[in-house]
Amino acid sequence: MNFKHILAKTKRKYILAPLLGVGFLVLTAAGDRYFEISKNIEIFTTLFKELNTYYVDEVDPNKLMETGIESMLASLDPFTNYITGADIDEYQLQTTGRYDGIGARIMKMGDYVVISEPYEGYPAQKAGLEAGDIILEIDGKSAQGYNTDQVSELLKGQPSTELRLKIKKFDSDKIEDITIQRTEIKIYNVPYFGMLNEEIGYIKLDNFAEKAGQEVADALKSLKTDHPGMKGLVFDLRGNGGGLLNEAINVANVFIDKGQKIVYTKGKTSDANNEYTTMNKAVDTQIPLVVLIDGGTASASEIVSGSIQDLDRGIVIGQNSYGKGLVQITRPIAYKARLKVTTSKYYIPSGRCIQRIDYSHRNDEGKALAVADSLRKSFKTKGGRTVKDGAGIEPDVTTEEQILSDVTYSLFENNHIFNYASSYKKSHPTLEGGEKFKMSDADFEAFLSYMKDKEYKYNTETEAQVKKLKEIAEKEKYLAAIQPVITDLESKISLDKEKDLVKHKDEVKRMLEMEIVSRYKYEKGRIAASLKDDQDILKSFEYFSDLTKYNKLLGK
């Protein structure tokens, strides 16, 4: 027999054996997995029945099951969620930007829910509802004690249906019966765009619901048409938590031309592995571009800001983004419920994934941790700049996070800024300066007088440290000896806190101006007023005014 033929047969024999072994192991592993699934479902079902039958007190089966589902999903990642049939309207609002109702934001204040801001041009505003109006009754039923979710559900309904409200006007004994006809409400992805000065345009994108890309494109076209001398654009993604993946591609396509890969995804199933490229001609690929981000910039916002950075299309200014590199899809479940489940990770043009938290590995306490700096990998932008994965989008130019002082936060928390703005509107039928309104010193003195009989308690970090010192001193038997010093410290802190409103005058004025403008100009006015003295925008001006500096940062 030919030696080579024998050798070939022998090789095939010993090659075939391991392959069969692997196949057997795979089948065995799959069988074991399905057995474990079947076993645990049976255990869960039996346990659920036993609890409902024998637990000493009555249990709500729906609540018990929801608790079990939520706890199970919580062990995975915070983005894999169970959406009940009752929550489906909220989910649809997030993805479509539409709902049926009267068009107003609401908030809880005391025993009632109040109007916090009507949407301009929609039924609530047309019917005369204003910020601060208290909702006493809805269709003849008292709304006392209702929370915002309960009131929101009652305000929604089919378009053209009528809603009867009993309203107590802000800071008044006046009661009004109002009939409003519901309609479809559209929440725009781009709530505001305009010019920051004669040469620099601005677009604010809040969401990535349906038509986000079209709205950004329309805003940019409008700015270019109305202001042909525009020489730069600030694109604001701060606080934008993301949305639809396809809209992220469409938004990027406004600035990045057709055929460019923006993101690709990798997951467990073949359906989860996809590549997404721009499909249309861009609106403008040349205008100098600054993208603003912060810790609230997440997901689809990070795809857009990250692709602009990776492709050296513009510079990113602000603070590190959130770091969500996980993609979710929704799957239908029984009884109109849905499962929003993480199916893949996304990778932006340089090849990096910006996911910050590793949910697949947890410490001994079960906590998922951020990717260690030592494990972060370096990648290159189109022009050769170094960028890293594993920690969100790191800005090209980092600015300091603007954190509210304790006193200003307390004013917000106790609704003093909200109420003063409503009071100001009541005594000032028109607003001098419109969106550019600035409080005078006399206006601020009026606010200080307004606050004299108002409660706004808050604890400073200094007070927390003094309290901690007292506890340690008492434990170590030193308290009696140092009590006079501590009492003196507490007295000085208390006196100083009385001056905090004046000490933080500029910050408090800025917050008041934004809220007051919103009473006259609604959301657009609030955003426009917020841009005055914005540190990130002022920083962007440095690069627009010196294009050599801008290009150098991009490695050009």
Q: Is residue 91 part of a domain?
A: no
Of residues 201, 242, 252, 191, the one with CA closest to residue 537: 201
Q: Is residue 181 part of a domain?
A: yes
Q: What is the pLDDT of residue 494?
A: 67
552 pLDDT exceeds 50?
A: yes
Q: Is residue 544 part of a domain?
A: no
Pairing state between β 289-293 and 315-318? parallel
Q: Is residue 267 part of a domain?
A: yes
Looking at the structure, do residues 266 and 393 belong to the same domain, yes or no? Answer: yes
Looking at the structure, do residues 128 and 266 belong to the same domain, yes or no? Answer: no
Looking at the structure, do residues 168 and 207 belong to the same domain, yes or no? Answer: no
Q: 29 falls in which pLDDT band (50, 70, 90)? A: low
Looking at the structure, do residues 298 and 159 belong to the same domain, yes or no? Answer: no
Residues 474-516 have pLDDT tens digits of: 888 888 888 888 887 877 776 566 688 889 999 999 999 999 9
Residues 200-254 have pLDDT tens digits of: 999 999 999 999 999 999 999 999 999 999 999 999 999 999 999 999 999 999 9
User: What are the b/e assignments for 307-317, b being 16+ CB within 10 Å?
Assistant: bbbbbbbbbbb
Q: What is the pLDDT of residue 497?
A: 64
Number of domains in the chain: 4
- Which secondary-structure segment (H or E) carries 379? strand 378-380
CATH number of 142's domain: 2.30.42.10
Q: What is the pLDDT of residue 8?
A: 40
26 pLDDT exceeds 80?
A: no
How many angstroms separate the CA atoms of 43 and 221, rounded? 60
**Which string of DSSP letters, residue by residue, matches 440-451?**
-HHHHHHHHHHH
Looking at the structure, do residues 241 and 174 belong to the same domain, yes or no? Answer: no
pTM over 0.75: yes
Alpha carbon separation from 127 to 12, 169, 229, 242, 260 (Å, rounded): 84, 13, 41, 33, 48
Q: Could you say which of 186, 207, 228 is where a domain stops?
A: 186
Mean pLDDT of 364-371: 85
Q: Is residue 555 part of a domain?
A: no
Q: Is residue 548 part of a domain?
A: no
Q: Is residue 227 part of a domain?
A: yes
Q: Which of 43-52, 189-198, 231-240 has the lowest mean pLDDT?
A: 43-52
3-state SS, 393-441, equals: CCCCEECCCCCCCHHHHHHHHCCHHHHHHHHHHHHCCCCCCHHHCCCCH
Looking at the structure, do residues 232 and 346 belong to the same domain, yes or no? Answer: yes
Looking at the structure, do residues 239 and 134 belong to the same domain, yes or no? Answer: no
Looking at the structure, do residues 237 and 385 belong to the same domain, yes or no? Answer: yes
How many angstroms separate the CA atoms of 89 and 113, rounded? 20
Q: Could you say which of 367, 401, 435 is where a domain stops?
A: 401
Tell me how far apart the 2 most distant CA atoms of the chain are, in Å: 111
What values do phi and psi take at 402, rounded to 5? -90, 105
Q: Could you say which of 186, 219, 251 is where a domain stops?
A: 186
Q: Is residue 92 part of a domain?
A: no
Residues with a known catalytic role: 299, 310, 324
Looking at the structure, do residues 389 and 425 belong to the same domain, yes or no? Answer: no
Looking at the structure, do residues 386 and 345 belong to the same domain, yes or no? Answer: yes
Looking at the structure, do residues 331 and 458 belong to the same domain, yes or no? Answer: no
Alpha helices in 227-333 (DSSP H): 245-253, 300-310
Looking at the structure, do residues 411 and 359 belong to the same domain, yes or no? Answer: no
Given a contact cutoff of 8 angstroms between Cβ atoms, the answer to whether 307 and 333 are in contact is no
> Any residues with CB less than 8 A from the CB of 248 and at least 6 apart, and which?
208, 242, 262, 263, 299, 300, 301, 303, 304
Residues 62-109 have pLDDT tens digits of: 888 888 888 888 888 888 888 876 677 777 777 788 889 999 999 999
**Residue 284, domain extent:** 192-401
Given a contact cutoff of 8 angstroms between Cβ atoms, the answer to whether 348 and 354 are in contact is yes
Q: Residue 389 corresponds to which tokens in the numbers above? A: 């994965």
